[in-house]
Amino acid sequence: MRYFFLAYALIALLVVGVFGVRGQHFSKPPYRIFPDMDDQDKLKAQKPDAFFHDNHGARLPVAQTQPRGFNEDGKLAVGGIPEYEFGGQTGYYYTGHVGDYFGTGTPAELELTDEAAAAAFIHRGKERFDIYCSVCHGKSGDGQGVTSQYGVPGIANFHLDNFKPATYPDGRIFETITNGKGMMGAYGYNIPVRDRWAIIAYVRTLQTAKESQTKAK
């Protein structure tokens, strides 16, 4: 029995020692062996801050700041700055649709009037495709991008017949980029309208290149 009380007392001591009595107040900062990023110099949105002379943490935009998607006169940039156009308008160029159907072909708004313009456009498409699509669809569009190596299933291979222009019109690619499809997220908020068409042109280029390669064999 004596040993029982001894053991009991020891265990009680150990428990109190390890977990301590909670709820005490200390006036000194605790010792921190790994401070991580507990203390940082930073501004918190909506909080006062002594760093600026007016003691506001939140700042007003610099004078003459031009909001994204607006022209200098403060008006919404409709048909104004292609880099800043993300859609919201009607018509084939902005939706990929012609009436109730998907359209196909190059919209006149792209103004690809000569070969140089078309070449530059496809180059732009390659650049954007490599940035936004190749991680999943692969640089050649075969669906074997880096994410597929990490197990993302079912990524479309653009060289299959069901993604060729005859079965999968340009407007449908536009729709997929804009709003996503099944497992694929939407890119309409990241990729401006004109760049979506550039990517489509490049996807078509990849398909044609692959076809002529297969034929040559």
Smallest gap from residue 117 Cβ to ligand HEC (A)? 21
Among 183, 186, 208, 209, binds ligand HEC (CB under 6 A): 183
**Could you tell me if 43 and 57 are in contact, meaning their C-beta atoms sit under 8 angstroms apart?**
yes
Task: Give the CA distances from residue 141 to residues 24, 38, 161, 191, in Å, rounded to whole numbers and listed in that order.
Answer: 62, 45, 13, 18
Q: Should residue 181 be labelled a site residue for ligand HEC when binding is judged by CB under 6 A?
A: yes
Among 43, 81, 110, 184, binds ligand HEC (CB under 6 A): 184
Per rule CB under 6 A, count of chain residues that contact ligand HEC: 20
Q: How far apart (Å, rounded) are the C-alpha atoms in residues 143 and 133? A: 10
Q: How many CB atoms lie within 10 A of CB 121?
A: 20
Nearer to ligand HEC (CB atom), residue 65 or residue 149: 149
Residues 121-150, mask of contacts with ligand HEC (x by CB under 6 A): -----------xx-xxx---------x---
Which residue sits closest to ligand HEC, CB atoms considered? 182
**In 77-216, where does DSSP find H-type helix?**
92-95, 115-132, 134-137, 146-149, 170-179, 193-216
**Which residues contribute to the site for ligand HEC (CB under 6 A)?**
132-133, 135-137, 147, 154-156, 173, 176-177, 181-184, 187, 191, 199, 203
